[in-house]
Structure 1
């Protein structure tokens, strides 16, 4: 079901349900435990079900045997083995010791706003998912967190409120990135948060800590000291996070990316490639060492009214890199024909990621010998070391000339091994045999070479060969549901000569099948991985390893860890089974967690205690109110968590409580059955409620006696309605009716009164009066328009009605039981949103009621006729009034 359809169906239900749903592992934010990849499917009782638009899984995932698995998250099939190799050589070899703000990055501009992940065509900047963008080579993600309607979401919106059909939970975005980092442990990623959370920064920090805390390279004491990629990897980290919000950047994990640190006017139309100046008028390659230079295009529908300029080709990307730009933000990666605006579309092959390769020539894997630069193109090629060439030389101490490194090219030519001595002989001991490590420096060396080929001092970085992605596999499934959907690994091997792939598993519960055969293909070979029939079925954690290599033993075998975890639910209960508390005391409740599998102790996660506000119905989900969350501390097979519930926070009466466990690594989300919890008032009143029945015209019924105990002073009865009275007689109070009750219309009149003693803890007593209708008088109901219509959303209109009683008798228990809609002029279908029947208040003779309908009413239908089915007085009166309405 498409997201806009889901959202239309969810409507107000989703908004109501957001009021009181539980955080999972942290106190201030909700960590989803369903609907994400490899998580269980969501049920109607889960808040995530409504966040995804009445979906059991995220938009780009599908349900498979109770688990959410890939459907459109990883479908891009354009990967190229050489391009993968060359990008890794640049990032983790050639530029590895440069500050990360100078290293070339292909960026996913508004990477989250993907059509494959549910964003509408008018609000999207990408077609492929974040995962697919990362597979393409993106290493700089721009994410826009918002705090909207009590949730942390991402959306493409300059305003605070994000419409349901154009947003996604931030937690799901972070989890998707986390899974990619887990599967690619040797990669480093930069995430820029263009956040719109205002003062709601604490929850954003908790989400970051939850998903990235073990992988984030934290900000240095001097935020201008950007680390090198080598430093990030040496620290065992993978992620740098930055924001333009100084309030958030003051924390230890966030770097600055504000206008003092990065290009503020980063639109292509403002960039002059002829002289390499950005929108701020600065020469990008001569910027301070600590600054970023960025440029980002805009192809979403919103850019049509504010043209920012486009980056149309790989040639354009290469030009920006030669100018010293370090971040090139691209839209519609490998999907240039998908823009909502025809003007922004292109039907040429998208070579923009390939344009970021500024070093090796296509197809050159560096195997023919050392590296040289071609004097006519500036691209690199491997050649035998015995061939004589001139040498590229740079300053030994480049601290005073960071931007260009002082590169010069020798006049003398020699074999590659004599590069160091030749550089020193011609330029002195202040120079060394070197290699350009950034595109604009490479361009400077090309100019210095004057058309000659020159040797470069570079040794290749060893990479996995073949490359198998993803680098890990996980199967996480509920007990009793074995995953049946195959997982897919794509293997990218070298194609410079014919090779054959082999794969094997070290456990017998994995089955491997080559989809495309074993002869290495340019676009990669797909390896399907399934659980074998003999795979374990008992709860627990099982590990294995896949090995993928070449049949001839060349290259480096890729090892892929496999985790198979079977998760049961917990035994969970609230003790005592029926707690009772008298106001104003506090109730102490214990939630007990018992492991179903002794060998799998409970650890991590959190328990949330919640009160049921409204039970579920066919058209509405249940709604809850949180009463507290406790994190699970330690580990064990029988754990207890105590909750303190102030009785004053709850109304008097019986409440239904439920405790929910979620967020743990070994057990599925689990919940208790509904447990009654009774709150008694400090002042006891017997009976606990008072009711009267009044026949037409009287007589008034006798007063009722109340017995009151627990009062600490003089008792008073207050807030009585005008038609009731109270009198103290001895130790009792008597509540009765007065003559004003005779003037009331037929029907039920429900209210209450208060018993107090001047101290905190009054008792509210329900009071009900049923005025019986006259047998000789029946109502006569008809319908008319109740006023102007108003918009309720996409193709929706709120239509006020007026139901009038022109008969001699009262209409009690009025209900609209049916609504027929006929389009009188125009085209399209008009339908009623919401369920039937619609209950109305009792309508006295001469009175009226004003219900409001929500119709799906497209603008193409200009006039309709409504036929209402109405019943009253326990069905003894029915009517079918009609009315015509203009949109």
Structure 2
């Protein structure tokens, strides 16, 4: 009898301890200007080369307070769940994959599975109540099904050879949405655009394979990310216009920076949080995958990552201002399309800017750029990252011009700003 009661106690304890997602969603924040602005900003680069496009990131995305229960994720990197991270404008999600024991709350059996675990050789451990890879994929898919955008999923391989199990998880939960490598071990084409990927019906890029693993089964879905990513030290980074003397490299890869937001890192490793000023400096140099920790609700560092729209712009109460101009401040504002400004023209290859002598209404932008700079290949354009925006502002200031039209409008559908 005592043995039976003990089993019942353990079973109930395991059931309670199962890692469930807490619905701590702050809907007021999701409706705020900052979140709306960064989501608009992410879409500006839909037609730009991947290497220039915005992919705001979180590191150890799965290690969030939303999943903490005393047994799992006791020292989180972030507050919101991965679903809410995506809602807050994050477009690069990171998952560490471990093959480890797992308690299945449905079957009440302890098995092995591909789990999302924050473990390392120095500190951290896997818990049998950690979430599975499949559960994480289901959460990301929920957001993808409601949004026509591209997300990067970076995987850290701690699978101990269990690539078939990882493949099965991807194939079952996400396979139809994955933009696959052309062949196992193929590197990613950094000149392709988000728009071209979306046109194929795909929405997610998965990276994390290595030369030694890309020929395994998961190589059908997972890119070898050679030459795809770069990173800088945010604490020693030299700001604009020097940008660490690495502008060319930054514009050729998806560059980021991160800090470790766990309590262990802050106490033992003396790791400091990334500051608002550091995020703004990185953003202005065109780093598109910045991950600051811990990500919180109402995090002012998210505001620092906004290089495009000015505060409280575009106006939600003024439906007649449907064309975007870069203001004297270097930030975007929605303006009446029949206002008259010069036009921002950009070369699609070298990404340099020219500004027209022609001053006219917004609808004449393409003709103005073609007429003055068309022979050199310049077209009516819009900055797609913080560095390009800063460069346009420099050219504008050198000419003594306050405002210029950009090829960015919501004249077709109110609120749907497109470039």
TM-score (norm 2): 0.80
Task: Kindly state the Cα deviation for residue 412 of structure 1 after the two structures are TM-superposed.
Answer: 4.1
Q: CA separation of 1:393/1:211 partners in 2, compared to 1, >3 Å: closer, same or farther? A: same
C-alpha contact (below 8 Å) 2:153/2:205 kept by paired residues: yes
Q: 1:374 aligns with which of 327, 330, 334?
A: 327
CA distances 1:657-676 after superposition (whole Å, capped 9, x unpaired)? xxxxxxxxxxxxxxxxxxxx
Rounded Cα–Cα distance in structure 1 between residues aligned with 2:194 and 2:366: 26
Task: Kindly state the Cα deviation for residue 463 of structure 1 after the two structures are TM-superposed.
Answer: 6.5
The equivalent of 1:232 in structure 2 is 197
- Structure 2 residues without counterparts, runs of 5 or longer: 1-5, 102-111
The equivalent of 1:262 in structure 2 is 229
CA distances 1:34-93 after superposition (whole Å, capped 9, x unpaired)? xxxxxxxxxx5xxxx8xxx612684335xxxxxxxxx4364554212544543343333x
The equivalent of 2:384 in structure 1 is 437
Task: Kindly state the Cα deviation for residue 306 of structure 1 after the two structures are TM-superposed.
Answer: 3.2
Rounded Cα–Cα distance in structure 1 between residues aligned with 2:251 and 2:214: 20
Rounded Cα–Cα distance in structure 2 between residues aligned with 1:308 and 1:269: 11
Structure showing greater radius of gyration is 1
**Residue 133 (structure 1) aligned with residue 85 (structure 2):** yes
Q: 2:238 aligns with which of 243, 250, 272?
A: 272
| RMSD over equivalenced CA pairs, Å | 3.3
Q: 2:221 aligns with which of 231, 244, 253?
A: 253
Runs of 4+ in 1 over 6 A off after TM superposition: 461-466
3-state SS in 1 of match to 2:57:
strand
Q: CA separation of 1:195/1:464 partners in 2, compared to 1, >3 Å: closer, same or farther? A: farther
Q: CA separation of 1:416/1:127 partners in 2, compared to 1, >3 Å: closer, same or farther? A: closer
After superposition, residues 257-406 of structure 1 pair within 5 angstroms as 257-258=225-226, 260-263=227-230, 265-274=231-240, 277=243, 283=246, 285-287=247-249, 291-304=253-266, 305-307=268-270, 309-313=272-276, 315-334=277-296, 350-365=299-314, 367=319, 368-375=321-328, 377-395=329-347, 398-399=348-349, 401=350, 405-406=351-352
Rounded Cα–Cα distance in structure 1 between residues aligned with 2:78 and 2:189: 32
Q: 1:214 aligns with which of 176, 182, 195?
A: 176
Rounded Cα–Cα distance in structure 2 between residues aligned with 1:435 and 1:189: 22
3-state SS in 1 of match to 2:257:
strand
3-state SS in 2 of match to 1:393:
strand
The equivalent of 2:364 in structure 1 is 418
Q: CA separation of 1:82/1:98 partners in 2, compared to 1, >3 Å: closer, same or farther? A: same
CA distances 1:508-527 after superposition (whole Å, capped 9, x unpaired)? xxxxxxxxxxxxxxxxxxxx
Q: 2:119 aligns with which of 134, 157, 164?
A: 157
Task: Kindly state the Cα deviation for residue 442 of structure 1 after the two structures are TM-superposed.
Answer: 1.1
- Number of positions where the alignment pairs a residue of Structure 1 with one of Structure 2: 383
Q: CA separation of 1:163/1:383 partners in 2, compared to 1, >3 Å: closer, same or farther? A: closer
After superposition, residues 477-488 of structure 1 pair within 5 angstroms as none
Rounded Cα–Cα distance in structure 2 between residues aligned with 1:434 and 1:135: 27
Q: CA separation of 1:76/1:82 partners in 2, compared to 1, >3 Å: closer, same or farther? A: closer
**Residue 171 (structure 1) aligned with residue 134 (structure 2):** yes
**Residue 123 (structure 1) aligned with residue 88 (structure 2):** no
TM-score (norm 1): 0.40
Rounded Cα–Cα distance in structure 2 between residues aligned with 1:98 and 1:298: 31
Task: Kindly state the Cα deviation for residue 440 of structure 1 after the two structures are TM-superposed.
Answer: 0.9
The equivalent of 1:86 in structure 2 is 37
After superposition, residues 433-832 of structure 1 pair within 5 angstroms as 433-450=380-397, 451-460=401-410
Task: Kindly state the Cα deviation for residue 416 of structure 1 after the two structures are TM-superposed.
Answer: 2.6
- Structure 1 residues without counterparts, runs of 5 or longer: 1-8, 14-43, 62-70, 336-348, 467-887
Rounded Cα–Cα distance in structure 2 between residues aligned with 1:465 and 1:297: 34
Q: 2:161 aligns with which of 196, 199, 218?
A: 199
Greater RCO structure (CA 8 Å; 6+ sep): 2
C-alpha contact (below 8 Å) 1:89/1:460 kept by paired residues: no
Rounded Cα–Cα distance in structure 1 between residues aligned with 2:336 and 2:28: 35
Task: Kindly state the Cα deviation for residue 166 of structure 1 after the two structures are TM-superposed.
Answer: 7.4
CA distances 1:5-47 after superposition (whole Å, capped 9, x unpaired)? xxxx99xx7xxxxxxxxxxxxxxxxxxxxxxxxxxxxxx5xxx
Structure with greater proportional strand content: 1
3-state SS in 2 of match to 1:105:
coil
Rounded Cα–Cα distance in structure 2 between residues aligned with 1:96 and 1:420: 19
Task: Kindly state the Cα deviation for residue 270 of structure 1 after the two structures are TM-superposed.
Answer: 4.3
Structure with greater proportional helix content: 2
Task: Kindly state the Cα deviation for residue 125 of structure 1 after the two structures are TM-superposed.
Answer: 0.4
C-alpha contact (below 8 Å) 1:123/1:302 kept by paired residues: yes
3-state SS in 1 of match to 2:390:
helix
CA distances 1:135-178 after superposition (whole Å, capped 9, x unpaired)? 22222111111112443212211149944277332222222223
Rounded Cα–Cα distance in structure 1 between residues aligned with 2:385 and 2:363: 23
Rounded Cα–Cα distance in structure 1 between residues aligned with 2:174 and 2:40: 26
Rounded Cα–Cα distance in structure 2 between residues aligned with 1:151 and 1:162: 15
Q: CA separation of 1:225/1:290 partners in 2, compared to 1, >3 Å: closer, same or farther? A: farther
C-alpha contact (below 8 Å) 1:296/1:328 kept by paired residues: yes
CA distances 1:90-141 after superposition (whole Å, capped 9, x unpaired)? 333x211123342122212211111221266762101222222222222211
CA distances 1:809-828 after superposition (whole Å, capped 9, x unpaired)? xxxxxxxxxxxxxxxxxxxx
C-alpha contact (below 8 Å) 2:325/2:334 kept by paired residues: yes
Rounded Cα–Cα distance in structure 1 between residues aligned with 2:366 and 2:80: 47
Rounded Cα–Cα distance in structure 1 between residues aligned with 2:94 and 2:313: 32
Q: CA separation of 1:289/1:269 partners in 2, compared to 1, >3 Å: closer, same or farther? A: closer
Q: 1:242 aligns with which of 185, 189, 207?
A: 207
